[in-house]
Amino acid sequence: MLLNQIHKNILECGTDEAGRGCLSGPVTAAAVILPLDFQCELLDDSKKLSRKRRYLLRTLIEREALDYHVSHVMMEKIDEINILQASLLAMHQAIDGLKLRPKHIAVDGNKFNAYPGILATTVVKGDGKYLHIAAASILAKTYRDDFMSRIAQEHPEYDWENNQGYPTKKHREAIRQYGATPYHRMTFRLLPDQLTLDE
């Protein structure tokens, strides 16, 4: 059973990102503030859940959350500032978008850039420990999947609706055959034998 939040009885948001290891598409982050008495036994790290379960939980989270916001950081920015900084920027932008101002931020992972005026705690594998971080992981993952499904209609040959931009064999074969699109991250190693910067 996941814990509600790190600090009891204060307004605390959880934040997480999705899409760091992808070759194409944005990195997406969410910030979620849940009620202090929120409970949901089905809520867990988005990576442990089926697609159907994630979307069912997204509906629940959006209905029950006190506040939430999702933010994409696009490919050009990822190439400009690197994927780690883009992930942290996406988290900041998600927090910026909250209407409620949290007193504390719970961050999935071990890195975070200080957020002005609000203390933060990083939690390794936090999406499997705290409900609000798990909720953020589900929103980030599903909203990013929605984005990849939309752009897959423009470029069906890359199979993005199934691989979400991750470096699958089919995705890399399409890059080899058709080249990169504007949705690809040009600073990533798109093909194993390509002389570009690695992630």
pLDDT tens, position by position, 23-78: 999 999 999 999 999 999 999 999 999 999 999 999 999 999 999 999 999 999 99
Listed by start position, the domains of the chain span 12-152
Verdict on whether the full-model pTM lies above 0.85: yes
Across-strand partners of 68?
32
SS (H, E, C) 45-83: CHHHCCHHHHHHHHHHHHHHCCEEEEEEECHHHHHHHCH
pLDDT at 195 over 60: no
DSSP run (H or E) holding 143 = helix 131-152
The answer to whether residues 15 and 61 touch, using CB atoms and an 8 Å cutoff, is no
Q: Are strands 104-108 and 67-73 parallel, antiparallel or unpaired?
A: unpaired
Least confident of 18-22, 52-56, 138-142, 193-197: 193-197
Amino acid 87 reads: S
- Name the fold adopted by 12-152: Nucleotidyltransferase; domain 5 (3.30.420)
